[in-house]
Amino acid sequence: MIKTGILYHEDYLKHDTGDHVENKKRLIATVDLLNEYSVFEHPNIVKISPNPAPIEEIQRVHKEFYIEKVKEKCLSGGGWLDADTLVSPDSYNVALLAVGGAIQAGEMVIKGEIDNAFCLIRPPGHHAGPGTARGFCLFNNIAIVARSLIARFEEVNKVLIFDHDAH
């Protein structure tokens, strides 16, 4: 039987962007639907409980000045990192939790504990550059996961990233 890991944590909702187009309603609606169909109770579903990523993992992709910029903006109460990327006071810590969880999901696939993973995380991350926020994204979650797995597992020498979304 195929085992699917589902990564989710309520703290992901603490990345509070208010009425911004990228907001917590996306995760709430998805989790509500999964609960409605008892997906989390299915025997082939493995719930993944995340731990925050260490800064060293974030540094695999992002420049130190940018990591500090995100942290400081959040510590100072939040605001805009760029024209379309908003952060709240908790966004930095939530982003570390999102990256950490995504790394855990990847590790679990590599180790054969699960066959695949569905990561319900916020803030989103695949558009962020090494020194910039972009497209609502703080840290490039998927690039960090790819670099982490390549660096730590000798059987992993490349990762395919398939970005399939609405734009």
Note the pLDDT tens digit of each residue in 15-47: 999 999 899 999 999 999 999 999 999 999 999
Helix boundaries (H) for the chain:
25-36, 55-58, 64-75, 91-110, 141-152
For residues 45-71, average pLDDT:
98
Q: Which residues are catalytic?
A: 127
Domain coverage including residue 12: 4-152
Flag whether 158 is in a domain: no
> How far, in whole angstroms, is CA 21 from its chain's centroid?
18
Flag whether 165 is in a domain: no
Residue 59, pLDDT > 80, answer yes
Flag whether 160 is in a domain: no
Q: What pLDDT does residue 167 have? A: 62
Measuring CA to CA, how many Å separate 107 from each of 79, 95, 143? Answer: 33, 18, 14
The count of structural domains within the chain is: 1
Between 159 and 69, name the one with better pLDDT. Answer: 69
Residue 78: give its domain's CATH number: 3.40.800.20
Q: What is the DSSP string of 42-63?
A: STTEEEE---PPPHHHHTTTS-
Flag whether 164 is in a domain: no
Q: What pLDDT does residue 161 have? A: 82
Flag whether 88 is in a domain: yes
pLDDT confidence bin for 160, thresholds 50/70/90 = confident
Flag whether 167 is in a domain: no
Flag whether 8 is in a domain: yes
Flag whether 56 is in a domain: yes
Phi, psi of 31 (to 5 degrees): -65, -40
